Structure 1
Amino acid sequence: MVLFDPLGDDDPLEDPFSDDPFEDPFDDDPIGGDGDDDLEDALEKTSPSTLLAFITAVVLVHVGLFGASIGAMLIGFRGRWTLGSALVIGGVFALVLAVVTYRRYRNRR
């Protein structure tokens, strides 16, 4: 018995996207540029104080948002006021520290 193949492919297990240039993100860039060299050049040109202020602000914002949101959910969904309040206060404090870090760096420049 022969089954009808509407696409006309001979091998049903063959990868239909095998010729896709965007399939492997770690393969060589099909356009010809190298993103790693561009990133390395940008990091070499950036001053250490700028990089430190950026990383500090990013980490503080992430910690602040995580703490404040988890704390609010603990209070709202579980009724855990002690732990939730501590996380919200800690998260807000981390966000305030991120703003202070940003403003201190901005005023120093």
Structure 2
Amino acid sequence: MDPFGESGPDEPEEFDPDSLGPDVPEAPDVEPDLEESFANIDEVDDELVTAFWGAAVFLNVALAALAIGAMLVYFRGDWTNGGGALLVGTVAAVFAARFYFGYQRSDDESADSEEEGKQEEGEP
């Protein structure tokens, strides 16, 4: 018997690569409704928006500066520029933490004041 001879009766004549694996799923066509998405934007607290964007910007700066600074120090041995970038990244991370914990503290204080108001009214 020749293993490279004619194919058997159960084998297809030509290989179909699409027969391997499951069918590829298709996503439905959905049009985003931006008016509906942004309809409730006025309900968001201004302090929350400020804290979010402040933390987001400072964390992006911190991540980039820390990564670039570490690479400058490690690969080039450039402590002047790399150290400066590490310092900028550290300061940016501290400012991001300040935005985050500042909002968290003010949110906790507002929740405590609401809880005290309910206790004064006689609600449990």
Aligned partner of 1:84: which letter? G
Match of 1:50 in 2: 48
Aligned partner of 1:53: which letter? A
Counting matched residue pairs gives 91
Question: 5+ unaligned residues in a row in structure 1: which ranges?
Answer: 1-6, 8-20
Give 1:72 shift.
Answer: 0.4
| Residue pairs, 1:1-109, within 5 angstroms | 29=31, 34-109=32-107
| Distance (whole Å) between structure 2 residues aligned to residue 53 and residue 42 of structure 1 | 19
Aligned partner of 1:85: which letter? G
Aligned partner of 2:62: which letter? G
Match of 1:14 in 2: none
| Distance (whole Å) between structure 1 residues aligned to residue 79 and residue 85 of structure 2 | 10
Give 1:73 shift.
Answer: 0.3
| Distance (whole Å) between structure 1 residues aligned to residue 40 and residue 83 of structure 2 | 41
Aligned partner of 2:79: which letter? W
Give 1:104 shift.
Answer: 0.6
Question: 5+ unaligned residues in a row in structure 2: which ranges?
Answer: 1-15, 17-25, 108-124
Q: Indicate the structure (1 or 2) with the bigger Cα radius of gyration.
A: 2
Post-superposition CA distance 1:21-66 (Å, at most 9, x none): 86xxxx862xxxx341243124222111111110000000000010
Distance 1:28-1:108 versus aligned 2 partners, 3 A rule: same
- Kindly report structure 1 stretches of 4+ aligned residues shifted beyond 6 Å: none
After TM superposition, the score normalised by the length of structure 2 is 0.60
Give 1:82 shift.
Answer: 0.3
